[in-house]
Amino acid sequence: MAKAAWVFPGQGSQAIGMGADLATVPLAQERFAEAESVLGWSVLEVVQADDDKVSNTLYTQPCLYVIESILVDLLQDRGHQPAVVAGHSLGEYVALYAAQVFDFAAGLTLVQRRAELMAQASDGMMAAMLGFDADDLAAKLEATPGVVLANDNNPGQVVISGTPEAVTAVMESVKAKRAVKLNVSGAFHSPLMAEAAALFQPVLESIAFATARVPVLSNVDPIPATDGAVLKQRLVQQMTGSVRWREITLALPELGIDTVVEVGPGNVLTGLTKRTCKDLALVNVGNLEQVEGFTN
């Protein structure tokens, strides 16, 4: 039997219509209703809106959390369990839910407040860089105040974050195959999110974190952990800290993992994994048909 890591994508993987097929399942119907009571709006209505409302940070994060959590519920209801879990940025909240660190409503309460604070963060800029010299990029980041490595996704793809001037300066000075400004409201995963992180902390402190049922590899620390206090502290650091996804991926084979299951819309994380650890088997579970066909 495969030893699987379940991984959960974050903002950027959303798509109009995602999760709508789940609404035929009673378990999912209960979750959508519970989500509406927490959020005050309908996830199903937002994801099916033609104006791409689902790509507004305020809605993106709660919608991804709800849909990915429902996919977790459906998989676990069929007897499937991961050996370890990890999530990319927002996806870490689903990883913690899958590991039973908190319940569905508690996680959604955290995600809704996180989304509100991040949507209000209008200062700063983020850019994706592909095909670059890692040493050159590291040197330029070190020499340029106001910009940091926000997402270390794989050896050939990163995201930098900081003030518009600093991010632009690095984009223009580092030779890369592609450098693209991201359509986000602020400099996520950088020190510029310190104020938002400080406002978020009281909400985070109000939620009890249980011992995880399976190890969690956190964005800011890829060492597996199950202690609730440790996992909460790592989440405190997540808003201003880098997403160390490349290190998370490299840690999986060392933990005996042979299969990576991306639970959520799209295939961003399996795509990143393919370029980092070529020997890992890759599976995507992003809709009802894929849940029903899942055999690991």
Q: Tell me the sheet residues that pair with 262.
A: 7, 284
Q: Which residues are catalytic?
A: 89, 189
Contacts of 46 (CB under 8 A, 6+ apart): 53, 54, 59, 63
Candidates 216, 189, 214; CA nearest to 118 is: 189
3-state secondary structure labels for all residues of 197-249: HHHHHHHHHCCCCCCCCCCEECCCCCCCECCHHHHHHHHHHHCCCCECHHHHH
Token pair 């860089």: residue: 129
- Within 61-183, strands assigned E span 84-87, 125-132, 147-154, 157-162, 176-181
Burial 122-136 (b: 16+ CB within 10 A, else e): eebbbbbbeebeeee
